[in-house]
């Protein structure tokens, strides 16, 4: 009999649809969050990266785990490696949500976590999503609401934005079959778009003007800190636009279709499906 699947960040943008997808497949799920509340009908378990004592109880009865570092954390290796080591020591399969492009340089902290997983001897799948379509709600909606602009330091770089539902469905596939074990996948949407392209799509769906405003890093950090983002994290967010400006996030892959059997959703599909939230 298969054990349970632990889902970290179970209340988050990827975790919530992932829990629902796994339950729909008939899996037993432990939904991990700092509150430990049940999610989508799955058993809740308390997990907090700041408290190593929560690792062992979270892994109890588990044979597969979806591992990610939630938004807002910067200490990537310090927080993730103890969990990875604990899971690997129990031979728990790890499906790790990493970051698009980190395989370019082994000194990148997310890549160091990938290497630790690859060398651990436990079964694994690594998923590297591109920029999320959902950022247009999560991060850029205030600018769209107040000024009709998306102000980010992306230059004229393009990204193959991915819908979190496609990340969740890809993770569900990786967790429920061994066909993809030992592999890494760059998860992207169906096309690479510049922010001006994305703004035009949002304007069409919303029925109101939305424009892209290219800004420099300091201006961007200022916008975020005024909105309440801590400066260190705002600087980190600014730094990850460098690969966008360099054209490194413009690649399009067929990984979502390989994993799920379905093509990925477009930014327009995302916007139409989330119109109520975008327009609110």
Q: Tens of pLDDT along the chain (280 residues)? A: 579 999 999 999 999 999 999 999 999 999 999 999 999 889 999 999 989 999 999 999 999 999 999 877 888 999 999 999 999 999 999 999 999 999 989 999 999 999 999 999 999 999 999 999 999 988 888 889 888 999 999 999 999 999 999 999 999 999 999 999 999 999 999 999 999 999 999 999 999 999 999 999 999 999 889 878 889 988 988 988 999 999 999 999 999 999 999 999 999 999 999 999 998 8
Q: Are 152 and 122 contacting, i.e. CB atoms less than 8 angstroms apart?
A: no
For the whole model, what pTM was predicted? 0.95
Model pLDDT for residues 187-206, shown as the tens digit of each residue:
999 999 999 999 999 999 99
In a domain, 212, yes or no: no
Domain range for residue 60?
4-129
Q: Are 159 and 186 contacting, i.e. CB atoms less than 8 angstroms apart?
A: no
- For residue 130, the number of C-alpha atoms closer than 13 Å in the C-beta half-sphere is 31
124-129 and 158-159 beta bridge pairing: unpaired
> In CATH, what number is assigned to the domain containing residue 72?
3.40.50.720
In a domain, 55, yes or no: yes
Model pLDDT for residues 117-145, shown as the tens digit of each residue:
999 999 999 999 999 999 998 888 888 98
In a domain, 219, yes or no: no
Number of domains in the chain: 1
pLDDT of residue 181: 98
In a domain, 24, yes or no: yes
Rounded distance between C-alpha atoms, residue 141 and residue 162, angstroms: 17
In a domain, 194, yes or no: no
In a domain, 196, yes or no: no
Q: Which residues sit opposite 96 in a β-bridge?
A: 67, 126
In a domain, 170, yes or no: no
In a domain, 276, yes or no: no
């Amino acid at each position: 009999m298969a054990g349970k699947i632990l889902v970290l960040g179970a209340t988050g943008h990827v975790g919530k649809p992932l829990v629902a997808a796994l339950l729909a497949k008939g899996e037993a799920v432990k939904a991990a969050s700092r509150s430990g509340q049940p999610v989508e009908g799955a058993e809740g378990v308390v997990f907090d990266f700041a408290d190593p004592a929560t690792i062992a109880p979270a892994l109890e009865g588990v044979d597969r785990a979806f591992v990610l570092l939630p938004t807002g954390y910067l200490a990537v290796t310090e927080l993730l490696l103890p969990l990875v080591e604990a899971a690997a020591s129990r031979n728990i399969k790890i499906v790790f949500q990493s970051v698009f492009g980190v395989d370019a340089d082994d000194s990148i902290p997310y890549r160091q976590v990938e290497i630790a997983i690859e060398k651990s001897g436990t079964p694994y799948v690594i998923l590297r999503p591109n920029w999320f379509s959902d950022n247009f709600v999560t991060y850029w909606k205030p600018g769209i609401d107040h000024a009709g602009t998306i102000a980010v330091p992306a230059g004229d770089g393009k990204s193959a934005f991915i819908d979190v539902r496609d990340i969740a469905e890809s993770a569900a596939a990786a967790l429920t079959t061994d066909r993809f074990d030992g592999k890494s996948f760059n998860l992207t949407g169906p096309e690479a778009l510049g922010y001006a392209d994305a703004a035009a799509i949002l304007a069409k769906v919303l029925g109101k003007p939305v424009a892209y405003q290219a800004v420099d890093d300091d201006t961007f950090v200022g916008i975020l800190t005024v909105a309440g983002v801590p400066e260190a994290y705002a600087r980190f967010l600014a730094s990850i636009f460098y690969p966008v400006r360099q054209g490194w996030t413009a690649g399009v892959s067929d990984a979502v279709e390989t994993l799920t059997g379905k093509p990925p959703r477009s930014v327009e599909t995302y916007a139409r499906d989330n119109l109520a939230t975008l327009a609110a």
